[in-house]
Copies of this chain bind each other. A is one copy, B any other.
């Protein structure tokens, strides 16, 4: 039998959920903006200057010398016990290591949560705007995503109560990113956190709290996590991507007993376990309080770059009717263009002037505000930020006509 004798195979019937999947808007934008010499304020890539390469080199040598065969063998789906203990010790509330599930990055945590908590058409609540990667992770389980209105302090409790739904249409959870949010850079105030935890408990509404950026504060740590205020009512997600390195793909879930066993089973089915070598590397690097010495250097760098961006905005955007916020930490700030302008239409003009950003529309579950855009201050240098913001101002000036 020759290959050419085979009937043409048009046999691939895709699952319905596959139709709802889309390429990441951000990754597509990043492709457009990959031209030589462009200053990208678009991506959410941590500064490679902050990666402790030599600490990882030492840890790699130590792990393979002391524990090589075990590091390279199949391992428990829950994660490497010393790493789970180190995370429990690191978190600012009383966490049992048995509640911790190591994930292949925070993105996998979102995938597992979606599998365990979302049925087709289940109502899922998110902030306005919200993290795009969460929407992508939830989409394959075909939820009905409903956006809760938010102000500078986070979700509005009255709108939450209006949107929570009842009976079979009761929301499965509210997904919320309280610290230096992606995309807006905003932080939920202590008072709003207290209100939210109280309202959620009264509504019997689980909270899914995502905290990849919480350690990247500039002057003061953010208020206590929602989960610390009601551990049985919340799933907490953390990550080593921003405080050590994203390329290792190491995140974790802290889950109450009501959902932990199912998250674990979903984890087994998804990839058996997160690479044991990577888990041992991070456990080794964390020994002796490394993060306490390392993370302040990231904070100082990002604060300096954020201040450079704010100074450039103050200088370059004068009289243009552009507004922006002043984040207390993290990687992003949020810009609103004047009435009638569209960030999506602005983007090609900005790229012509060698600067890129992400239009804010990508981050809305519904009713996108076309005037918004996200700027990252972590990947570019202070000099590039100054040049990039000047170019952006020029593009806005031209676009206004």
Q: Using a CB–CB distance below 8 Å, which chain A residues touch chain B?
A: 1, 3, 6-18, 21-24, 27, 44-46, 48, 51, 53-54, 56-57, 60-61, 64-65, 68-75, 77, 104-105, 107-108, 111, 115-120, 122, 133, 136-137, 139-141, 170, 172, 194, 197-198, 201-206, 229-230, 232-233, 241, 245-249, 256, 258-259, 261-262, 264-266, 268-278
Contact = CB atoms under 8 A, between A and B. Distances in A.
A272 B117 contact: no
A271 B17 contact: no
Nearest to A233: B9
A139 B269 contact: yes
Contacts of A241: 74
Nearest to A75: B247
Nearest to A277: B247
A107 B272 contact: yes
A108 B27 CA distance: 21
Contact of A104 (B23, B115, B116, B271): B271
A270 B204 contact: no
A256 B54 CA distance: 41
Contacts of A12: 117, 206, 256, 258-259
A265 to B, nearest CB: 4
A274 to B, nearest CB: 7
Contact of A69 (B51, B230, B264, B274): B51
State the copy count for this chain.
Answer: 2
A272 B105 contact: yes
Contacts of A198: 1, 6
Contacts of A137: 269-270
A73 B49 CA distance: 11
B73 A197 contact: no
A206 B11 contact: yes
A275 B249 contact: yes
A6 B230 contact: yes
A231 to B, nearest CB: 8
